[in-house]
Amino acid sequence: MEPRRGLNILLIEDDARSAELVRAGLAPEGHAVTIAPDGRIGLLRAGGEEWDVVIVDRMLPGLDGLGLLRMLRGAGIATPVLFLTALGGVDDRVAGLRAGGDDYLVKPFAIAELSARIAALIRRGSTKPAATTIRIADLEIDRLTHRVTRAGRSITLKPREYALLDYLARHAGEVVTRTMLLEDVWGFHFDPQTSVVESHISRLRAKLRTGPEPELIHTIRGAGYRLADET
């Protein structure tokens, strides 16, 4: 895995307290967060400087988040953009994504989830070709044939279990949240208020680990899950 570096992030947010909380929360990871306090200033800075990620509130003075993003995309600026907003309805999410947003996180949120989504955006923007085979310790996933083995033992997975494992493997070493799994594995842009993620994780763990092998799927308390060899 490539070493992670601190990112140069523009946060367009008019709530000074929220903005400072985000800046302080991401600082320990080495990320430098610059705050723009309204839509017009944000547009100027987002369009005039180089950023790894832009985080945008939907409801901004001067120029709202949707209008800001449409202008950026219309100018050919492809910087990854994550909406961070209190507008959490399905229609709101769809509007944000259709305006050119790459991800959408609803307030209130955990810094761990914001950090995980930023990491996923950076990873998604990588130009490296996707690996057809992923190996993590003695686990091997053939993404062309969907064949999964551990220490040479073939593991039979149902389609959703495979999709879940594939997603975790593509983000190996990173924390992925329950919301990310619901959105990217199940296609839910709302919380179904069920334990569907937890039950699938449990079944996947049982299939991957039938003996003394070390656990590969780790629960990160208050954040989500991480697939990694931590022996």
CA–chain centroid gap for 107, Å, is 15
Q: What are the φ/ψ torsions at residue 219 (nearest 5 degrees)?
A: -85, 125
pLDDT at residue 3 above 50? no
Instruction: Note the pLDDT of residue 187.
Output: 81
Q: In Å, what is the CA distance from 47 to each residue of 4, 10, 154?
A: 25, 11, 50
Instruction: Note the pLDDT of residue 129.
Output: 54
* The pTM of the whole model exceeds 0.85: no
* Cβ contacts of 44 within 8 Å, gap of 6 or more: none
Find tokens 């209190």 and name the residue.
Answer: 86
Confidence of residue 2 (pLDDT cuts 50, 70, 90): very low
Nearest to 116 by CA among 178, 70, 169: 178
pLDDT digits (tens, 9 = 90+) for 64-110: 999 999 888 888 888 999 998 888 777 888 788 888 889 888 888 88
- Report d(CA 146, CA 1) in Å as an integer: 22
Nearest to 172 by CA among 230, 129, 90: 230
pLDDT digits (tens, 9 = 90+) for 151-203: 999 999 999 999 999 999 988 988 899 988 998 898 887 777 889 999 999 99
Percent of the chain with pLDDT over 90: 52
